[in-house]
Chain A
Amino acid sequence: MKARAFDYRRVASVAEALDAYAACAGEARYLAGGQSLLPALNLRLDAPDLLIDIGRIEALRGIVIEGESLRIGALTRHAETLASPLVAAHAPILTQAAAYMAHPAIRNLGTMGGSLSLADPASELPACMRALGATLEITGPNGIRAVPADEFFQDLYETALVPGEMLTAVHVPLAASGSRMHFTEIARRRGDYAMVGLAANLVLADGIVTAARLGFCSVGPTPMRAPATEAALTGRPLDGDAITSARAALGDDLSPDDDDSLSAAARMHLARILLGRVLAALGEDTAEAVAA
Chain B
Amino acid sequence: MSSPQTLSLTVNGTRVRHFVEPRLSLADFLRGNLGLTGTHLGCETGACGACIVNLDGQPVHACLMLAVQADGLRVDTIEGLSEAGTLADLQAAFHARNALQCGFCTPGILVIAHDCLGAWAASGTIPSREVIRDALSGNYCRCTGYEAIVDAIESVAKARAGRSDPQPGGEAAI
Direct contact of A and B (CB under 8 A): yes
Using a Cβ–Cβ cut-off of 8 Å, how many residues does chain A contribute to the interface with B?
A: 32
Q: Tell me whether A8 and B59 are in contact in the complex, defined as CB-CB below 8 angstroms, given that A103-B137, A104-B115 are known contacts.
A: no
For chain B, which range describes its interface: under 10, 10 to 19, 20 to 34, or 35 or more residues? Answer: 20 to 34
Interface class of chain B by DSSP? mixed
Q: How many A-B residue pairs have CB under 8 A?
A: 94
Quick one: which of A6, A49, A51, A104 contacts B138, CB cutoff 8 A? A104
Q: A2-B23, A191-B138 are in contact. Are A7 and B3 (CB under 8 A)?
A: yes
Give, as a whole number of angstroms, the nearest-CB distance from A60 to chain B: 15
Q: When each residue 119-133 of chain B gets 1 if its CB lies under 8 Å from chain A and 0 otherwise, what string results?
A: 000000000000000
Task: Tell me the complex Cα distance, A53–B66, Å.
Answer: 10
| Cα of A103 to Cα of B60 in the assembled complex, Å | 10
**A38, B46: Cβ atoms closer than 8 Å:** yes
| Beta-carbon contact of B22 and A51 below 8 Å | yes
CB pair A6–B2 under 8 Å, yes or no, is yes
User: What is the CB-to-nearest-CB distance from B124 to chain A, in angstroms, rounded to a whole number?
Assistant: 16
Residues 146-179 of A, flagged 1 when their CB comes within 8 A of B and 0 if not, give 0000000000000000000000000000000000
Whether A3 pairs with B23 at a CB distance below 8 angstroms is: yes
Q: A6-B22, A6-B23 are in contact. Are A38 and B138 (CB under 8 A)?
A: no
Chain A positions 1 through 28: 1 when the CB is less than 8 Å from some CB of chain B, otherwise 0: 1111111101000000000000000000
A105 with B61: CB separation less than 8 A: yes
Contact residue among B65, B68, B134 (Cβ-Cβ distance under 8 Å from A190): B134
CB of B59 within 8 A of CB of A105, answer yes
Does the CB pair B69–A108 fall under 8 Å? no
Does the CB pair B71–A103 fall under 8 Å?
A: no
Would A189 and B71 be within 8 Å (CB), given that A38-B46, A51-B22 are in contact? no
- Whether the Cβ atoms of B137 and A53 lie closer than 8 Å is no
User: What A residues does B137 contact at CB under 8 A?
Assistant: 103, 189-191
With A6-B2, A35-B46, A39-B46 already in contact, the answer to whether A104 and B135 are too (CB < 8 A) is yes
For A5, give the chain B residue with the smallest CB separation: B2
A77 closest partner in B (C-beta): B58
Q: Does B63 contact A (CB under 8 A)?
A: yes
Q: Which residues of A contact B58 (CB under 8 A)?
A: 79, 108
**Contacts A6-B22, A8-B2: A108 and B60 contacting too (C-beta < 8 A)?**
yes
Name B78-134 residues within 8 Å CB distance of A: 112, 115-116, 134
Q: Which residue of B lies closest to A37 (CB)?
A: B64
Say yes or no for B151: interface residue by CB 8 A criterion: no
A114 CB, nearest partner CB in chain B, Å: 12
Q: A42-B45, A105-B112 are in contact. List 4 more A-B contacts (CB 8 A).
A: A5-B22, A39-B44, A55-B69, A103-B139
Across the A-B interface, give the 5 residue pairs with the lowest CB-CB distance, nearest first. A103-B138, A8-B22, A190-B137, A5-B2, A39-B45
Please list the residues of chain A having a beta carbon within 8 angstroms of any beta carbon in chain B: 1-8, 10, 31, 34-35, 38-39, 41-43, 49, 51, 53, 55, 79, 102-106, 108-109, 189-191
Question: What are 8 A-to-B residue pairs whose CB atoms are below 8 Å?
Answer: A8-B2, A8-B66, A34-B66, A35-B46, A38-B46, A39-B45, A39-B64, A79-B58
